Structure 1
């Protein structure tokens, strides 16, 4: 009888622990396959995003994307303009849509 309870507890423990889901948003943007692996919006500067992206399967290091000035800041502090059909344009256009919707909804209240 004791072995049965241990088995039941092990089964319950197995199903109660779920692995962390990891999903990324991927888009074909221009001639590239761009995936947003991880993204955080700046609390201070709402137009800035810290993101790790993958372009054509190659994971890039964390970079800061400034949607106001359309530049990205690399880890070493280099400031580069967005590439045409690149990750910066995708990030800013993707989140601009949701921001405009939330802004319009907030304006009505």
Structure 2
């Protein structure tokens, strides 16, 4: 019974963290879209590099929650498929983080 309760506990938090991560990513996408549309509609110049950086930061932050979800899923049911999903998410997060930091450094010197 305790293992079933623990399994449900982890499943609940997987759902919560997945919802939080998804919300952060959607919010970032909507915010960037609105900023670009207002910039174009009002003919007000806006720094697209700043919008891109903010969007990328929100995507990375949302992916952090997906990593938590993958870890919890692996704890609940440790299979090769779950480990592959976890590794893929961590790899995506690492690659995005690398290119974001490289891009930020380029903009600092321009």
- Which structure has more helix as a fraction of its residues? 2
- Structure 2 length-normalised TM: 0.31
**Which structure has the bigger radius of gyration?**
1
- Structure 1 length-normalised TM: 0.31
